[in-house]
């Protein structure tokens, strides 16, 4: 059975993308370019729907403090929602609780894969 565009948008109103890469690799810069944004329309919300300060995505010497569960959106591209990997760090896989290791990414992807609602699944993974 073929679905109409309206039916697809009802089931999945936004395309969800996980962006993976080391810290300061330019993940946020790529998102801004793709969404034709200077960043002023960037919005981050946590799993409870509370707004998060976008400055957590700014590059610095420390790893990013973004939570992979947070949804990053741009008003200029309302059909896209992004998740930030926080920057994968070498050696982080040795720490079972580290949000910087590959295990944390696999847990996130596994949880999103198992959800029954297509709107909550990850539709693409970008490696920067």
Tell whether 65 is covered by a domain: yes
Which residues have a Cβ under 8 Å from the Cβ of 57 and sit 6 or more positions away? 28, 42, 44, 64, 66, 72, 84
Q: How many CB atoms lie within 10 A of CB 39?
A: 14
Residue 100 has pLDDT above 60, yes or no: no
- What's residue 39's pLDDT? 92
Q: How confident is the model at residue 26 (pLDDT cuts 50, 70, 90)?
A: confident
State if pTM tops 0.85. Answer: no
Q: Decide if 25 is inside a domain.
A: yes
Better-scored residue on pLDDT, 118 or 25: 118
**4 located within any domain:** no
Residue 114 DSSP one-character state: H
pLDDT at residue 109, as a whole number: 94
Give me the domain span that covers residue 71.
10-127
């Amino acid at each position: 059975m073929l679905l109409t565009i309206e039916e697809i948008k009802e089931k999945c109103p936004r395309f969800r993308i996980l962006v993976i890469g080391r810290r300061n690799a330019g993940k946020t810069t790529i998102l801004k370019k793709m969404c034709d944004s200077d960043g002023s329309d960037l919005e981050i919300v946590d799993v409870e729907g509370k707004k998060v300060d976008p400055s957590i995505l700014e590059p610095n010497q420390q790893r990013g403090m973004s939570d992979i569960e947070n949804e990053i959106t741009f008003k200029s591209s309302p059909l896209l929602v992004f998740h930030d990997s926080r920057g994968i760090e070498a050696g982080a896989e040795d720490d079972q609780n580290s949000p910087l290791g590959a295990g944390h990414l696999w847990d996130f992807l596994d949880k999103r894969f198992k959800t029954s609602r297509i709107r909550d699944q990850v539709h693409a993974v970008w490696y920067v």
